[in-house]
Amino acid sequence: MGSVSLKIGDGTARFKRATICSSALNILMLLSVVATNIFALYAFTNPNPGYQSHHLLQHKNISLISEQVTLILREIASSQKKLAKMEKELLGYESIDLSRPNIASELKMFLRPHSLPLGKDSRTGITEMVASVGHSCEKSVDLLTQYMSYKVSGPCPDDWSLAQKLILRGCEPLPRRRCFAKSVPKVGLYPFPVSLWKPISDKVVSWSGLGCKSFECVNTKKSSRECAGCLDLASGNENQKFVKARGKNDFVLDDVLALGGGGIRIGFDIGGGSGTFAARMAEKNVTVITSTLNIDAPFNEFIAARGLFPLFLSLDHRFPFYDNVFDIIRASSGLDVVGKPEKLEFLMFDVDRILRAGGLLWVDNFYCATEEKKKTVTRLIERFGYKKLKWVVGEKADPSGSGKSEVYLSAVLQKPLRA
């Protein structure tokens, strides 16, 4: 009765007290035990003419009754386990037991339902507020407990890397905490729009949990295809992106915006690295949100230091936006999700959900590791019925410097108006 179970909502899990199903199971168990006791009492009190003369038969009867009771109790326990397993398979999550030892008290406090002060809300019908936490957090309870162990109203542990580790394991959204995050002095930030292309100081970001402790170190290391030298704003190719094409797969920003017919105002960049796409769009008076994690570099703080909007979010999380709100969405290697093809489908349907009818989906240099990968992505895009405004498949040199050629897909697609 004291356990806490998950209730799946919009991509999150809501922890709630015992469900109707568990209550019914408890009632069934109680009735079974009562019936068993009545049966045993009847067996002991039923007059038997040969009872006193056959002691061996008496012991045998008692033994049989005990065996039957034991079998019934085992059957009840087995049924309870089967029911719990069926519930987990149907709902797709494992219930989390907050009564287990070593669970942080703050985690229990956060997940506890809080009754509304004025009772039932007349508009929504709810009577209590329930916290939202990713259902995969059950698989990382030890890390989650570590994350929720802190002094209330004191400084938070410097553990953003732990939070990112939980997010990458599907524990998203994370629970809120009642502590003060570590502050980094933001001295020397430039005013907007000068900030868009000025080099970012090492002192305005946090380097904890990272191998490098400076942007010079990050820029000398081999990075992903999406962000090879992308934190170097002073030199290199970052300041030429979207302005000058280096190959047929690179589209110039003005050409893409012209395809939108002048209706581009707000956009979303999925896995946008250092925020350069958002910077170029800001110069066109277009607001762009950039989703990114801090994989090997402080991308979120870097983007914010440029005067842009970072979103600390993994691609496994449902985009926290309403339907049909963006005029343009850009995605590159962010679409290259690992796992079954269905995982990419879920991502693409969520992209389609937040893009308005007539809006543009810019697939920018998507790396086709194999011919089958290219066919899979092509077939998936064609399922959505988007109009192909630009479509280029070409080869580029491997950004790691190996000298090998790789196949990339670039496209500008327009979402149709559906009934």
What CATH code is carried by the domain that includes residue 244? 3.40.50.150
Residues 315 and 372 in one domain: yes
Residues 242 and 142 in one domain: no
Residues 270 and 350 in one domain: yes
Note whether residue 122 is domain-resident.
no
pLDDT at 224: 64
Report pLDDT digits (tens) over 361-370: 999 998 888 8
Check: pTM over 0.85? Answer yes or no.
no
Note whether residue 213 is domain-resident.
yes
Cα–Cα distance for residue pair 414/385, rounded to 1 Å: 9
Q: Which domain holds residue 63?
A: 5-47+58-91
Residues 221 and 325 in one domain: yes
Report pLDDT digits (tens) over 305-356: 999 999 999 988 899 999 999 999 999 877 776 667 788 889 999 999 999 9
Residues 149 and 236 in one domain: no
Residues 29 and 145 in one domain: no
SS3 annotation, 220-276: HCCCCCCCCCCCCCCCCCHHHCCCCCCCCCCCCHHHHHHHCCCCCCEEEEECCCCCH
| From 47-51, 235-239, 302-306, the region with the lowest mean pLDDT | 47-51
pLDDT at 287: 97
| From 38-42, 47-51, 96-100, 201-205, the region with the lowest mean pLDDT | 47-51
Residues 347 and 222 in one domain: yes
pLDDT at 223: 61
Per-residue pLDDT, averaged over 54-69, amounts to 70
Residue 26 — very low, low, confident or very high, per pLDDT cuts 50/70/90? low
The domain tally of the chain equals 3
Residue 134 — very low, low, confident or very high, per pLDDT cuts 50/70/90? confident
pLDDT at 41: 57
Amino acid (1-letter code) at residue 256: V
Note whether residue 400 is domain-resident.
yes
Report pLDDT digits (tens) over 81-111: 777 666 555 444 445 667 777 888 888 888 7
Cα–Cα distance for residue pair 277/270, rounded to 1 Å: 10
pLDDT at 400: 62
SS3 413: strand
Note whether residue 189 is domain-resident.
no
Report pLDDT digits (tens) over 387-413: 999 999 988 777 666 667 888 999 999
Per-residue pLDDT, averaged over 236-255, amounts to 90
Residues 141 and 218 in one domain: no
Residues 332 and 212 in one domain: yes
Tokens of 263: 């209706």
pLDDT at 337: 67
Cα–Cα distance for residue pair 217/298, rounded to 1 Å: 12
Are 226 and 273 a contacting pair, CB within 8 Å?
A: yes
Per-residue pLDDT, averaged over 143-152, amounts to 94
Note whether residue 334 is domain-resident.
yes
Residues 257 and 354 in one domain: yes
Residues 388 and 245 in one domain: yes
